[in-house]
Amino acid sequence: MTTFRKSLWLALIASTFAVGVAEARTLKWARSGDSLTLDPHAQNEGPTHTLSHQIYEPLIIRDHTGKQLPALATSWKVTSDPTVWEFKLRTGVKFHDGAEFDADDVVFSLERAMQPTSDMKGLLTSIEKVSKVDAHTVHIKTKAPNPLLPNNLGDLFMMDKGWSEKNNVTKVQDFKNKEENFAVRNANGTGAFMLVSREPDVKTVLKRNDNYWGKSEVPLEITEVVYTPIKADATRVAALLSGEVDFVQDLPVQDIERLRKDNKLRVNSGPENRTIFFGFNIGDKDLKSDNVEGKNPFADVRVRQAMNMVVNRQAIQRVVMRGESVPTGVIAPPFVNGWTKELDTPPAVDVAAAKKLMADAGYPNGFSVTLHCPNDRYVNDEAICQAAVGMWGQLGIKVNLVSQSKSIHFTLIQKQPPESDFYMLGWGVPTFDSDYIFSFLYHTRAGSRGSWNATRYTNPEVDTMIQSLSGETDLAKRNATIAKIWSILHKDVVYIPLHHQTLAYGMKSDLDIPVDVSNQPKLKMISFKRS
């Protein structure tokens, strides 16, 4: 064999080997809605963050169980000054365009996220100042001690300062301007995937970032991601069945059983970080939508207890949700700090006892009231309301159901004063701590607190305790306060918690993507099964 031939053979073998290693694995991924923008600070919304998580990275990331892992920060701690947090940044991290990631980018990104037009600013209100200590150390000074600051940073993505300045995107999109911001359809992050092309609502293509800092820590087996929103449920399922997509993020509940039986597919389901519940107007002297003159039946705790007791959560789970929900007695998913088994156990269904409570409260024949319900926000939201209306009917409570689009429904709740006496709502806890639930759903509506509390419930004792949580650095003491608040709220029956929503992911059987509690799967963690 001549040397030329030999080297040719060697080259050939080498090239086949190289192909074998760099095996191209494309993940075709579909869900019902698209990300709204690639600008990581413009929309605080689930699907938007999900896509951003593949391209951009926060300082601290959460895995699919909600556990915090270091991402662009390697360690973080409170300094001797309890109002200052110190973050040590990862070294040797590069943005997709090759620029170095350092403290300047962190300061820039957090300041950008705190701008008035940013949608992320609500998570950063406790921050007074972000400052650079050295190239890889950042100090965040809060207005008061904030022991849980890292909890708020899970979806706060880091942008490159240089890139942002060059492309004139140092400001978050202002909808008043009539121009599109460059960052809406372009991205330069540090994440495991790089943007190849983006057609909003149609298709987004990402490719693997071969220089990713964490490539030795995560499988990173997917080489290309093709992300397509498919709005119609039937079409999305059909695309999975026909093999046109590999991974469907939201399966309609009625199809889950059928897909489970298909041996070419896998369905993973698990609890989502979202609880569905009913709220009532407790505080007003008289209700507008009821037939009781001069009195508010919801103001009587016995009425609320009775209504809580007749809601048959098991039946709703079985019939309306086809088993895809977790009945509960508290507005906090199990992985949230403050959740306990006792709180989570819903009251036993007892119609006779409920009727007695109603009679004691002076409503033996019930009353009539209007229930507002969304019809395009939660899983089977309208059907749940219809089922519950029937259950309250057992007490003689005649509930008129008004189901509307979420754009109208949420306005009723957010208006001051709220325009609904009785409503359905769902709540997710991005900080994984009860404080978030208390502040938005239970605190008296004032300032930045209580914005989703349309119950008019106001309890000064509870309010003071809620306020004390944000500055309490002693975690044992803090948890004791949380438990105390929950016990008061539980006794007062401010809401009727119904169930934790469940998520179901459908995929080809060579994939095994675990359900992410925040419904934001991180694709770098996914590996294929070798067959």
Partner 1 sequence: MFAFAIRSLAQGVLVLVTVAFIAFSMFRFVGDPVVNMLGQEATQQDRQELTERLGLNDPWPIQFARFLGDAAQGEFGVSYRQGRKVSDLIKERLPATLELAVLSAIFATGLGVLLGVYAAINRTGILSNLIMSLSLIGVSLPTFLIGIGLIYIFAVELRWLPSFGRGEVVRLGWWSTGLLTESGRKSLILPVLTLGFFQLTLIMRLVRAEMLEVMRADFIRFARARGISDRSIELSHALRNTLIPVVTIAGLQLGSVIAFAIVTETVFQWPGLGALFVNAVQFADVPVMSAYLMFVAAVFVIVNLTVDLLYFILDPRLRSGRRVAKGH
Q: Give the nearest distance from C-beta 186 to partner 1 in angstroms.
A: 12
Report the C-alpha gap between 149 and 465 in whole angstroms. Answer: 19
- Least distance to partner 1, CB of residue 306, Å: 30
Read off the tokens for 367: 């009353």
CB of 142 to partner 1, least distance (A): 16
In the 8-state DSSP scheme, what is residue 318?
I
Which of residues 184 and 401 has its CB atom nearest to partner 1 in the complex? Answer: 184
Q: Which of 108, 74, 350, 78 is nearest to 213 (CA)?
A: 74
Q: Which is nearer to partner 1, 239 or 306 (CB)?
A: 239
Helix (H, G, I), strand (E, B) or coil at 455: coil
Residue 408, C-beta contacts closer than 8 angstroms, at least 6 positions apart:
none
Selection from 317, 342, 316, 338 nearest residue 329 by Cα = 342
End-to-end alpha carbon distance in the chain: 38
Q: Which is nearer to partner 1, 298 or 423 (CB)?
A: 423
Cβ distance to partner 1 smaller for residue 43 or 188: 43
Name which of 126 and 312 has its Cβ closer to partner 1. Answer: 126
We find the least distance from the C-beta atom of residue 480 to partner 1, in angstroms, to be 26
Alpha helix ranges (H) inside 56-126: 103-113
CB 434 → partner 1: shortest distance, Å?
Answer: 16
* Min dist. Cβ of residue 91 to partner 1 (A): 32
Which residues contact residue 462 at a Cβ distance below 8 angstroms, ignoring those fewer than 6 apart? Answer: 438, 442, 443, 485, 488, 489
Closest to partner 1 by CB, 43 or 502: 43
| Between 134 and 257, CB nearer to partner 1 | 257
Tell me the closest approach of the beta carbon of residue 39 to partner 1, in angstroms.
Answer: 7
**Parallel, antiparallel, or unpaired: how do β-strands 26-31 and 247-248 relate?**
parallel
Contact 56, 191 (CB under 8 A): yes
Instruction: Say which residues have a Cβ less than 8 Å from residue 26's Cβ, sequence separation at least 6.
Output: 222, 223, 224, 225, 226, 246
Nearest to 512 by CA among 229, 265, 228, 225: 265
Residues paired with residue 141 on neighbouring β-strands, in sequence order: 84, 129
Which residue lies nearer to partner 1 by CB, 209 or 380?
Answer: 380
The type of residue at 366 is G
CB of 506 vs partner 1, minimal distance in Å:
14
Q: Which is nearer to partner 1, 77 or 406 (CB)?
A: 406
Per CB under 8 A, residues contacting partner 1 are 36-37, 39, 42-45, 116, 119-123, 173-181, 184-185, 199-203, 228-232, 234-236, 238-239, 241-244, 376, 404-411, 414, 416, 428, 440, 445, 447-448, 451-452
d(CA 431, CA 435): 9
**Nearest residue (CB) to partner 1, 179 versus 293:** 179
Q: Which of 490, 372, 504, 406 is nearest to 442 (CA)?
A: 490
Cβ atoms of residues 59 and 152 within 8 Å: no
Write down the least CB distance from residue 528 to partner 1, Å. Answer: 22
Give the β-pairing of 265-280 and 422-427: antiparallel
Smallest distance from the beta carbon of 280 to partner 1, in angstroms?
20
